[in-house]
Structure 1
Amino acid sequence: MKKANGTYNLLHWGHIKLLECAKEIGDYLVVAISTDEFNLQKTKKAYHSYEHRKLILETVRYVDELIPEKS
């Protein structure tokens, strides 16, 4: 199992290559998406909400599981 965490705001080709490479390392890829609350703690502002970013990442074929990153 491999884990890739991040905000994944405005998903782009660099994110896709990261996920592809992470998936090649293991047989199961868990992606932790920063929650809106976590981003506020880090003074990061995401353009899309957590739910929208999650929905977008669910369509990426390399991702097996999504979890919220809270800390």
Structure 2
Amino acid sequence: GGEEIILEGPGILGRWHIAPKGLPQSFVSEREDNRALFPRGVDVVLVAGSRVMALPRTTVLSRKSEMEAN
């Protein structure tokens, strides 16, 4: 229900598209800053009811609009 985010990286076959609600507009850029700290940094777990998605710091996030620009 939110803005579409594209996930890529280790453990992800191809690309995954998600559209979570409630994330701040700066979420994707903050995650990119977090990835730059590797191996330090923070992993994120998104929870919605009984659904759980883990985003390790190695996951690359981008917005659909950014992908279309490239």
TM over 0.5: no
More strand by share: 2
Give TM-score, length-normalised by structure 1: 0.31
Give TM-score, length-normalised by structure 2: 0.31
